[in-house]
Amino acid sequence: MLIVTSIVASILTAIFIKLSLVIIGLRRKNKVSLGTGGFEELERAVRAHGNFAEYVPFGIILLACLELNAAPWWLVALPGVALIVGRVMHAKGINAPPPDFRQRILGMKFTFYTLMSLIVLNVGWSIFKLLF
């Protein structure tokens, strides 16, 4: 069962929906049906949403692999929480007028380090399971 991954994926999906609703609201407010219409606030929202969509699937896949390979729940939960924190920080940093680049950069660092740790955890755990 993928209990931890299910919880993390559900939280991330709720955040994704929130980011989507922000875009919809800004499109309505600025009367833009496609693209950003040159509105900086809408451009930031679109990129926060796009960036989220680009990175989160890899994290969920790696979490699921780790959990399916019978890693302890906490070994799945820790990077799951870190991924959530990183994605929230990035979205807040890019959407804050003016953009808070420190928070955005810290969010990306959380995301990258989490993904890299998930790679190491998956490879290491798989080797451990093969040998023992």
pLDDT at 98: 77
pLDDT one-digit tens code per residue, 65-105: 999 999 999 999 999 999 999 999 999 998 887 766 899 99
Structural tokens at position 30: 């600025």
**28 pLDDT higher than 90:** yes
CATH 1.20.120.550 assigned to 3-131: yes
Give the position of tokens 């790696």.
Answer: 62
Side chain identity, residue 89: M
Q: What is the DSSP string of 114-130?
A: HHHHHHHHHHHHHHHHH
pLDDT one-digit tens code per residue, 38-59: 899 999 999 999 999 999 999 9
Q: What is the DSSP string of 17-54?
A: HHHHHHHHHHHHHHT-SSS-TT-HHHHHHHHHHHHHHH
